[in-house]
Amino acid sequence: MKPIISPSILSANFSNLAHDIEMLNRSEADWLHIDIMDGVFVPNISFGFPVLKHVAKLAQKPLDVHLMIVQPEKFIPEIKALGTEIMNVHYETCPHLHRVVQQIREAGMKPAVTINPATPVLLLQDIVREVDMVLVMGVNPGFGGQKFIENTVEKVRQLRELIARTGSKALIEVDGGVNLETGARLMEAGADALVAGNAVFSAPNPEEVIHALKNL
């Protein structure tokens, strides 16, 4: 199976976002990955709804929205209003994760749960059947362009086993430090979807990198 490719616009040119979104629309990218940060859960702030409204209007691919914020359930209506397909919330920010997952589904979106590098895969045992996707972080969230944490490959293997054992239908997405080299190993370990920011946008020809990732 070819990987689902979800380029992260965190590494796009913010002074000409429309140009980069049009490039993604033309490319073989499957989804658009949108990173929302609050400066509380993660040590950085990215963009908010006034900017994302315009991004959503231009984007012709399903939105894969990654919320690196505390109390993400507060923003379910705003995220839905963007036309979001997949809403990713962090395991670490949701003490009532089961409820949040239900709320996301009731709002008409696909719920996904994200785990930080230090969060064990096994903690997902009782939620993995309820979500459409698990997003495994390959870096500590907050910034693009960081070095891939090697243990992520092993976590993808463990998650693939957990999904098989529990009969879950969840997809496995990996975010952070993904490039052609790490992407190939993640696919071999059982990933379904790859997020890539820096690898795409720092390349002289981003569409070519998307094509290469798509054909890993």
- Restricting to residues 49-68, which ones interact with Zn ion according to CB under 5 A? 66
- Restricting to residues 110-149, which ones interact with Zn ion according to CB under 5 A? none
How many other C-beta atoms are found inside a 10 Å radius of the C-beta of residue 53?
A: 12
Element holding 137 (H helix, E strand): strand 133-137
In whole angstroms, the minimum distance from the beta carbon of 54 to Zn ion comes to 19
**Which has the closest alpha carbon to 195: 145, 155, 124, 160?**
145
Give Rg (Cα) of the chain: 16
Is there a catalytic annotation at residue 35?
yes
* CB-nearer residue toward Zn ion: 165 or 177: 177
Amino acid in the structure at residue 18 = A
**Token pair recorded at residue 121:** 């895969």
Of these, 197, 209, 210, 213, which contacts ligand DX5 (CB under 6 A)?
A: 197
Q: What is the dihedral of CA 63, 24, 12, 143, to 10 degrees?
A: 50
Judged by beta carbon distances under 5 to 8 A according to partner kind, the member of Zn ion, ligand DX5, none in contact with residue 142 is: ligand DX5
Q: Does 64 bind ligand DX5 (CB under 6 A)?
A: no
Q: What is the dihedral of CA 123, 128, 129, 130, to 10 degrees?
A: 100
Is there a catalytic annotation at residue 132?
no
Of these, 30, 35, 64, 192, which contacts Zn ion (CB under 5 A)?
A: 35
In whole angstroms, the minimum distance from the beta carbon of 132 to ligand DX5 comes to 18
Q: Does 35 bind ligand DX5 (CB under 6 A)?
A: yes
**CA–CA separation, 127 and 148 (whole Å):** 26
**CA–CA separation, 79 and 57 (whole Å):** 13
DSSP string, 65-122: EEEESSSGGGGHHHHHHTT-SEEEEEGGG-TTHHHHHHHHHHTTSEEEEEE-TTS-GG
Instruction: Point out the catalytic residue in the list 20, 30, 35, 132.
Output: 35
Q: Does 66 bind ligand DX5 (CB under 6 A)?
A: yes
Judged by beta carbon distances under 5 to 8 A according to partner kind, the member of Zn ion, ligand DX5, none in contact with residue 206 is: none
Of these, 4, 5, 10, 121, which contacts ligand DX5 (CB under 6 A)?
A: 10
* CB-nearer residue toward ligand DX5: 162 or 195: 195
Please give the residue ranges that form the binding site for ligand DX5 (CB under 6 A). Answer: 8, 10-11, 33, 35, 66, 139, 141-146, 175-178, 195-199
Task: Mark the binding-site residues for a divalent metal cation, compressed into ranges.
Answer: 33, 35, 66, 175
Catalytic machinery residues: 35, 175
